[in-house]
Amino acid sequence: MCGIAGYVGPDDALPVLLNALHRVEYRGYDSCGVAIHNGNAGSGSRRIEVAKAVGYVDDLRAATGPIPGGVGIGHTRWATVGSPSKLNAHPHLDCTGRVAVVHNGSVENHYQLREELRQRGHRFRSETDTEVLAHLLEEYGSTPEGVAEALARVQGPYAIAVLFEGSDSIIAARRGSPIIIGLGDGENMVGSDVPAVLERANGFIHLEDGDIATVSASGVEIRHRGEAVRRRVHHVRWGPEVVDKGGYEHFLLKEIHEQPRVLRDTLAGRISADGHVNLGLGLDRRTPPEELFLLGCGSAAHAAMVGEAFLAALSDTRVQALEASEMVRPKRRGPGAWSVLVSQSGETADTVDAARDARRAGHFTLALTNVPESSITRAAHAIHHLRAGQEVSVASTKTYLAQLVGLYLLGLELFPPSDRRRRQMAAALRRLPEAVQQALAMAPQLEMLGTRLAAAEHAFIIGKGINYPTALEGAWKFKEVAYLHAEGFASGELKHGPFALLDTDTPVIAIMPRDDTYERMLVAVEEIHARGAPIIALTDCDNAELQSIAQSVVCLPPTDPMFTPVVSTAALQLMVYYCGLARGCPIDRPRNLAKSVTVH
Ligand code: G6P
């Protein structure tokens, strides 16, 4: 959730760290800081110098003068324990100033440890749980064994990078939260994820839980339970340009426009000419699902709901979508119980926990994720990779559409429909990237509508059947990106309560493709019209009756009724983007949010 970076090499660490932190800023951006071993090896008077700022990495850059020294660590924070402030920003030092630590995770027993350390004379400056680690590490010393002993006292997940005064290396360790080592040429890096190490690394290593790595300019030594171990080296397949905006004003807009390509990648090689899907996961060798749970958080939970509607339409199997945090103590089940974990990052704490709990309860667990080497892929039996590429903007767009298509593919492999219908659906899936492209080409109309919505205080979004989750996802996006209070409703529910809020200043977006819910949606839209609320209809046909009651009609390209959430979501995303732009919102970094939430 927070971003970590570390550098050891011949160059000054500060500029490398600032660039690295900038690239992982989507993981947290309420404050940031660096700790640099000031001076060069052998210079005698080296000490750890710290610079911190509240706000963005650019604020830190502006406030910090040059600090010489080729060893340093840095952090960009999403506050958990302790408010966002300079004092609470990482790195944290112990009282001697000889140990600096950056941390991702949570020290669950920090009250107890703090009290113990206080009694032994340690003095604390911040409110954070992380500071406890600095004091603890100071007591146990700078060797990997000492670090392991100190960490054995800690409850809760962590990924840390530590700098000890006098040392020319960084120590990195993990349990439950990811951390990687980037391997360069005569220099090495540490990072919370790949973008942090992109500038200098051509390969990287994922540390395993319990690993303690000593990272120097010339090499990396990893110890696990006291033994030296080797970990697989992955090649960096992308350059720094992958995390650049590519000419767009915001990552969000870039990622929205990448969607046709992403859908092509997600579909590639997974669907045969006659419409048979094979995800290559050996699912046919498993006991077929008798009961199937679809679990995720945030947008991934909305994707799971679309998956539920789709899978339930294809089979009689009991399918249930749940927010992962609501999967409390799943019942013990036989091999016919499946849990599908939907998570872009593969790191969302509630989803990872749900994966572990479901597995423990005997479910077959399948992770649908964008990050093949993530906590969820360690927890689950099998991985269905989304192939959406790096998503930087906090609000998920391209990964959401990839999740939908990933779930469609899963449904078609598990419950293939009759020949004719299967071929029809396969053809529609193949045309989906083009349909999304056409929807995105409607940007001028969507911009006009989004800009007009910027003046509203509240908005409703309604949908039905497989597009009810689209309404929820659209409302979610308006809240996140445009700070507009929007609520998503099942169209039939409006008159049971929310109608009380409806007035002529409450725009209602109706998602109403011409499927078997259309007539019912039309009734709901007429009822709204009768109460004077302005209506924006997102449909796929030019329809005279709609033209007369809706203030605006957006005619989206048609697709199979099951796949309309993909097209209508793409249109909503653009509307949200322009609404957020008109409201002056920090599009890629909404306040208080983080890209992946690795704490409970
Ligand atoms: C955060 C993000 C959301 C995302 C959710 C689940 O809250 O801001 O955009 O939908 O986490 O993330 P995941 O990585 O598990 O899909």
Q: What CA dihedral angle connects 304, 305, 310 and 316, to 10 degrees?
A: 100
pLDDT at 238 over 70: no
Q: Are β-strands 158-164 and 170-175 bridged in parallel, bridged antiparallel, or unpaired? A: antiparallel
pLDDT band at 413 (very low <50, low <70, confident <90, very high): very high
Choose which residue among 597, 598, 599, 600 to substitute to test ligand 1 binding: the one with the highest number of ligand atoms within 8 A of its C-beta. 597
Residue 42 has pLDDT above 60, yes or no: no
- The protein residue with its alpha carbon nearest to ligand 1, atom 15, reads 343
The mean pLDDT of 238-251, rounded to a whole number, is 78
Testing ligand 1's pocket by substitution, the residue of 322, 392, 595 carrying the most ligand atoms inside 8 A of its CB is: 595
Q: What is the pLDDT of residue 597?
A: 78
Look at 595 and 250; give whichever has higher pLDDT. 250
pLDDT of 596 above 80: no
> Per-residue pLDDT averaged across 31-40, rounded?
88
Q: Answer yes or no: is pLDDT of 43 > 80.
A: no
What was the pLDDT predicted at 595? Answer: 82
Token pair for 80: 């958990």
pLDDT of residue 239: 65
Per-residue burial over 260-292, b if 16 or more Cβ lie within 10 Å, else e, is bebbebbbeebbeeebebebebebeebeebebb
Which residue is closest in CA terms to ligand 1's atom 8? 595
What digits encode the pLDDT tens for the residues 276-293? 999 999 999 999 999 999
The single residue listed with the structure tokens 């809240």 is 479
pLDDT at 28: 81
Residue nearest to atom 5 of ligand 1 (CA): 298
pLDDT at 279: 95
543: confidence class by pLDDT, cuts 50, 70, 90? confident
Tokens read off for 40: 């060069």
What value does the mean pLDDT take over residues 220-236? 93
Task: Give the pLDDT of residue 46.
Answer: 77
What torsion, rounded to 10 degrees, do the Cα atoms 426, 307, 341, 80 define?
130
Burial call 1-36: b when 16+ CB within 10 Å, e when fewer = bbbbbbbbbeebbbebbbbbbbbbbbbbbbbbbbbb
The maximal CA–CA distance of the chain, rounded, in angstroms, is 82
Please report the pLDDT score of residue 235 as a whole number. Answer: 86
Could you tell me the distance, in angstroms and rounded to a whole number, from the CA of residue 235 to the centre of ligand 1?
26
Closest ligand 1 atom, residue 376 Cα: 15
| Mean pLDDT, the chain, integer | 93
Q: Report CA-CA distances (Å) from 548 to 513, 535, 542.
A: 17, 11, 11
Ligand 1: centre distance to CA 212 (Å): 29
Q: Which residues contact 359 (CB under 8 A, 6 or more apart)?
A: 339, 365, 379, 380, 381
**247 C-alpha vs ligand 1 centroid, how far in Å?**
25
**332 DSSP assignment:** P
User: What gap in Å lies between CA 110 and CA 383, rounded to an integer?
Assistant: 35
| The predicted structure's pLDDT at residue 62 | 95
Is the pLDDT at 328 greater than 80, yes or no? Answer: no
Q: How far is the CA of 156 from the centre of ligand 1 (A)?
A: 21
Q: If residue 299 lies in a helix (H) or strand (E), which one and from where to where?
A: helix 299-314
**How many Cβ atoms are within 10 Å of 532's Cβ, its own excluded?**
11
Q: What is the pTM of this model?
A: 0.86
Q: Using 50, 70 and 90 to split pLDDT, how confident is the model at 246?
A: confident
User: Which pLDDT value is given to residue 372?
Assistant: 85
pLDDT tens-digit series, residues 48-84: 999 999 999 999 999 999 999 999 999 999 888 899 9
Catalytic residue among 254, 398, 477, 595: 595
For residue 371, the CA-to-ligand 1 centroid distance in Å is 13
Whether 295 and 351 have beta carbons less than 8 Å apart is answered as yes
Look up tokens 């725009």; give the residue: 507
2 catalytically annotated = yes
Distance 366 CA to ligand 1 centre (A): 18
Cβ–ligand 1 contact at 345 (below 6 Å) = yes
Catalytic status, residue 86: no
**Nearest residue CA, atom 11 of ligand 1?**
596
Residue 41: band (very low, low, confident or very high) from pLDDT cuts 50, 70, 90:
low
Which is the closest atom of ligand 1 to the Cα of 345?
14
For ligand 1, whether the C-beta of 298 sits within 6 Å is: yes
Name the residue of 344, 398, 472 whose CB sits within 8 Å of the most ligand 1 atoms, as the mutation to test its pocket.
344
> What is the whole-number distance in angstroms between the Cα of residue 145 and the centre of ligand 1?
36
Active-site hit among 2, 32, 579, 585: 2
Atom 2 of ligand 1, residue of closest alpha carbon:
595
- Span of 195-199, 222-226, 258-262, 410-414 with lowest mean pLDDT: 195-199
Kindly state if the Cβ of 396 falls inside 6 Å of ligand 1: yes
Determine the residue of 27, 80, 255, 297 to mutate for testing ligand 1's pocket, defined as the one with the most ligand atoms within 8 A of the Cβ atom: 297
- Per-residue pLDDT band for 592 (boundaries 50, 70, 90) equals confident
Q: How far is the CA of 596 from the centre of ligand 1 (A)?
A: 5
Counting from 1 in the atom list of ligand 1, the atom nearest the Cα of 299 is 10
**pLDDT band at 240, cuts 50/70/90?**
low
